[in-house]
Amino acid sequence: MSIPAGLEILDFSFPGQRIADTFAPVLVGVVGSGNLEVMLESAAGDDCTVRIETSARGFEPIWRAVLADFHERHPLGGIRISINDMGATPAVVGLRLGQAVAELPGASS
């Protein structure tokens, strides 16, 4: 796979504890300066996989910490999260992830 110049692609996987029911894809946010979009999709298996395409290179440890915190609060499985980032702060990342989970039937607790 060819990575466009200036982008970094990060992949994470977390073991799911609550398997999400099948759902229509959920999209929140917009790709723009200091913001990001988050898409949640049903996926086979018990894990929560996350793919991030970001213009802010070199922040993998911060992404890992933000996603681990999110997954601790929402230990979903059977889900794929795609994030397209244009330099969002960790607070904005958490906000968008929370907004997306709130759209899932029965998974917002």
Per-residue confidence (pLDDT) for residue 4, from 0 to 100:
63
Total domains in the fold of the chain: 1
**Domain carrying residue 45:** 8-102
In a domain, 44, yes or no: yes
- Residue 53: the pLDDT is 95
* pLDDT per residue as tens, the chain (109 positions): 566 667 899 999 999 998 888 899 999 998 877 889 999 999 999 999 999 999 889 999 999 999 999 999 999 999 999 999 999 999 999 999 999 999 988 754 4
pLDDT for res 10: 97
What residue has token string 């911060």? 62
For strand 79-85 and strand 47-54, is the pairing parallel, antiparallel, or unpaired? Answer: parallel
Identify the CATH number of the domain in which residue 62 sits.
3.30.230
pLDDT at 108: 44
Q: What is the pLDDT, as a whole number, of residue 109?
A: 45
Inside any domain, residue 109: no
For every residue of 3-55, DSSP letters joined together read PPTT-EEEEEEEE-SEEPPP---EEEE--STT-EEEEEEE-SSSEEEEEEEES
pLDDT at 3: 61
Confirm whether 36 is domain-assigned.
yes
Residue 3 lies in a domain: no
Q: What is the pLDDT of residue 20?
A: 85
Amino acid at 95: L
Question: Residue 2: what pLDDT?
Answer: 62
The alpha carbon of 85 is separated from its chain's Cα centroid by a whole number of angstroms, namely 10
